[in-house]
Structure 1
Amino acid sequence: MDSPSFFVTLQQIIDEFHLENVMNYEKSNEIKVISTDVNRPGLQIVGFFDYFDNNRLQIIGKVETTYLQNLTSLQRYESFDRLFSKKIPAVIITRDLDIFPEMIEAAKKYETPILRAKDSTSRFMSSLIGYLHTWLAPRITQHGVLVEVYGEGVLILGESGVGKSETAIELVKRGHRLVADDAVEIKKVSERTLVGSAPEIIRHFIEIRGIGIIDVKKIFGMGAVKDTEKIDMIIHLELWKENKHYDRLGLVNEHTNVLGINVPSLTIPVRPGRNLAVIVEVAAMNNRQKKMGYNAAEELNQRLMEEIEKNSL
């Protein structure tokens, strides 16, 4: 999925994958990559440009190089000239292969960077696509708290003052990890996966009313924080409403839609005396158990149905 609202600079890609800047191109910070897809321009080398997306990074590997070696110098230059004239972001040569002089000539003409990677083509493309999907993923910022509890990413939502941050601190004290407090940046990295993180400026900080801002990493140690976490479930905290019916069995599976993905969710009423940290722990373990194929509510319901059927005979 391409997302023109977000971009990653070519220099960031060069730094991430330790690419060789063959032409010493100095404007890599100005080139914005906006496509999560890449292209191996085999068809374009022979002149076929229908449905060609010039926003994609172009990857040339051993197959393309072997074909180009069988062309004359003029034919190679014409191929590269056609490709570079499309104003592509960059060409990346894999396997540390040699660069054709005709490619460099065409790249200089159109001011297009040429980069080189040491990895095999398939491995490099896989890593690059994963990187682009993460950086260019659709995203929103949600007011809430994200914690990792028993390996489950739990997003805690609720009105200001309901106790989200206090619950997070109690969870950290019990050995779990804080990912984000107050503002949670949520990215849709695939059609089934949401990943949450904290904005860089407030990462590892948490606000407790009456105390103020504290640095969780400094107070509780490195093991108490995490930079990113997949969102496995959402817990909505709300002040207890006497006339509202709250689910007591758990037979109905609730979901909250975030960026087009339905995430399992619970609504937990808050009132004095309830240990929210313990409730969140149990909810996380129960959610994990459901993913592994066991549902306690359905098990109890099955037993009740069997008992009713037995007594009716």
Structure 2
Amino acid sequence: MVESVTVEQMVKKVRMKVLQGEKYLQRPIVTADISRPALEFAGYFTKYPAERIQLLGITETSFAKDLTAEHRREYMTKMCTPRTPCFVISTDLPIPVELKKAAADAHIPILGTHQTSSRAISNMTNYLTRRLADRQSIHGELIDINGIGVLITGDSGVGKSETALELVRRGHRLVADDRVEVYALDEQTLVGQAPAILNHLMEIRGIGIIDVMTLYGTAAIMPSDSIDFIVHLETWTPDAQFDRLGDRGDHREIQGVVVPQVSIPVKTGRNLAIIIESAAMNFRAETMGYDATETFDRNLNSLIRKNSERDTKKKHEQ
């Protein structure tokens, strides 16, 4: 699922000025790529990316000034297509006269910013990448545990919501309950958020819908968070095999991003909130270079070596 973005929405988030065409801010933006028309001012339109935002900075406007008025009218008219969402003028530069008329005739808004072209592109790209990214809906809970985004998954009825609620009571923050909308920010970063209809709400069997923000305050929720770690809850059975030493290196791939994962057995009497909290802290320790499994292995090897030396010494004494 891809969300749509209008020019008006981007203007509010990126804080740009509308220089012309306020009536046409509902034009859709369909890609996060930004174009700086250079070849177009040289008359090359064979591969013109008309669906992109067209940004004119110092370089583009200076080059356009060297053209004849006739060429400027021709090229800027060609740049104004039905698919073009808007034009952006950076560095508080004046709008070329020919662009003013062509954009007005084509009902395309012109935006302005005091920022440099590079900064303006960065701000627009960051916002549009988040809004236009492909989204995947995952059944689970997303909780921020001391700065670590933990996605809790498992079969329906295994206790995910109740565990998430206990984590909130312990001071951690809810991002999403029951359904998490996930998208890849880049090749290494996953971001999750709640669907708009479920923002800061939880469903607890036997109680119904509760508003976490109303009950626990604004500090108990987050609008979105990265997904750094996955905890999968599984119903315990006597024949099930679970990791005892934490050395399996399990993971799950979501939208091309590999996320570390652990599986935790659910059994009567286990405090899942404390276990998940500890798993998150252990994950943080590992990312900082400390591995408890390696420490255990070193201690075990040291004990084996000492016992071997002791046995050898006894044999020599005999």
TM-score range normalised by the length of the shorter chain: over 0.9
When structure 1 is superposed on structure 2, of 235-244 and 65-74 the one drifting more is 65-74
What residue in structure 2 maps to residue 33 of structure 1?
Answer: 29
Q: Per-residue displacement from partner, 1:154-201 (whole Å, max 9, x unpaired)?
A: 011111211111111111111111111111111111111111111112
- Unaligned 5+ segments in structure 1 are none
Number of residues paired by the alignment?
309
Deviation at 1:23, TM superposition (A): 2.6
Q: In the alignment, which of 149, 163, 174 is matched to residue 178 of structure 1?
A: 174
What residue in structure 2 maps to residue 162 of structure 1?
Answer: 158
* Letter of the 1:192 counterpart: Q
What residue in structure 2 maps to residue 10 of structure 1?
Answer: 7
What residue in structure 1 maps to residue 138 of structure 2?
Answer: 142
Q: In the alignment, which of 239, 243, 247 is matched to residue 243 of structure 2?
A: 247
Deviation at 1:312, TM superposition (A): 4.7
Contact 2:14 2:127 in 1 (8 A): no
Deviation at 1:85, TM superposition (A): 4.4
Deviation at 1:87, TM superposition (A): 4.0
What residue in structure 2 maps to residue 19 of structure 1?
Answer: 16
Between the aligned partners of 1:258 and 1:154, the Cα distance in structure 2 is 14
Q: Per-residue displacement from partner, 1:225-283 (whole Å, max 9, x unpaired)?
A: 11111101111111111101111000111001111111101110011110001001100
Q: Per-residue displacement from partner, 1:38-73 (whole Å, max 9, x unpaired)?
A: 011122211233543222111101111122223332
What residue in structure 2 maps to residue 257 of structure 1?
Answer: 253
What residue in structure 1 maps to residue 220 of structure 2?
Answer: 224
1:79 counterpart = 2:79: no
Deviation at 1:309, TM superposition (A): 4.7
Deviation at 1:27, TM superposition (A): 3.1
Residues 90, 110 of structure 1: alpha-carbon distance in 2 compared, 3 angstrom cutoff: same
What residue in structure 1 maps to residue 315 of structure 2?
Answer: none
When structure 1 is superposed on structure 2, of 39-48 and 228-237 the one drifting more is 39-48
When structure 1 is superposed on structure 2, of 303-312 and 230-239 the one drifting more is 303-312
Which runs of structure 2 are paired with 1:48-59 in the superposition (5 Å)? Answer: 48-59=44-55
- Unaligned 5+ segments in structure 2 are 310-318
* Letter of the 2:110 counterpart: I
Residues 85, 27 of structure 1: alpha-carbon distance in 2 compared, 3 angstrom cutoff: closer
- Structure 1 stretches of at least 4 aligned residues deviating more than 6 Å after TM superposition: none
* Letter of the 2:4 counterpart: F
Q: In the alignment, which of 269, 272, 280 is matched to residue 273 of structure 1?
A: 269
3-state secondary structure, aligned to 2:178: strand
Between the aligned partners of 2:82 and 2:49, the Cα distance in structure 1 is 9
Q: In the alignment, which of 169, 172, 195 is matched to residue 199 of structure 1?
A: 195
3-state secondary structure, aligned to 1:236: strand
Percent identical across equivalent pairs? 42
CA root-mean-square deviation? 1.8
What residue in structure 1 maps to residue 101 of structure 2?
Answer: 105
TM-score norm. by structure 1 comes to 0.93
3-state secondary structure, aligned to 1:81: helix
